[in-house]
């Protein structure tokens, strides 16, 4: 399949696919006319890559994770010490971002609750 077809199937832009290729996250074959061509297996790989990126994982670590998945499928070593250390550091960063987002969510929720209570009180008084 061509890049536009792959983009439509996965729901990403062709430009993003080209970027993922530049980052070494995805590879394509080239037809005689120079067009990129993709296999059905590339659909799954692109979905995994896009999902990890959307989850906030930097592309350098997405490559590590996807390569580790591929190694596991081949029964190769999947997580050497250096990879484990990178992933551990990333996990710490993710936990910090989750904590920050949780605090922000809770602050917004409390604000909306107070606002709704004030509106209900005004409506009760004016009735």
Q: What is the pLDDT of residue 106?
A: 97
What's this model's pTM, rounded to 2 decimal places? 0.64
Which residue has better confidence, 38 or 84? 38
For 78-93, b where at least 16 C-beta lie within 10 A, e where not — what string? beeeebeebbeebeee
What's the whole-number mean pLDDT along residues 5-20? 95
DSSP assignment of 7-33: HHHHT--HHHHHHHHHTTS---EE-TT
* Residues 109-118: tens digit of each pLDDT: 999 999 998 8
Q: What is the pLDDT of residue 70?
A: 79
Mean pLDDT taken over the chain: 88
* Residues 54-84: tens digit of each pLDDT: 988 888 889 888 888 877 777 766 667 777 7
């Amino acid at each position: 399949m061509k890049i536009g077809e792959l983009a439509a199937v996965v729901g990403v832009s062709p430009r993003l696919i080209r970027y993922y290729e530049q980052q070494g996250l995805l590879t394509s074959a080239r037809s005689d006319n120079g067009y990129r061509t993709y296999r059905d297996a590339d659909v799954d790989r692109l979905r995994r890559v896009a999902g990890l990126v959307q989850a906030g994982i930097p592309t350098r670590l997405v490559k590590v994770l996807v390569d580790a998945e591929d190694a596991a499928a081949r029964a190769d070593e999947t997580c050497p010490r250096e990879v484990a250390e990178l992933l551990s550091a990333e996990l710490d960063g993710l936990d910090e971002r989750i904590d920050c987002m949780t605090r922000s969510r809770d602050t917004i929720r409390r604000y909306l609750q107070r606002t709704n209570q004030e509106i209900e009180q005004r409506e009760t008084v004016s009735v």
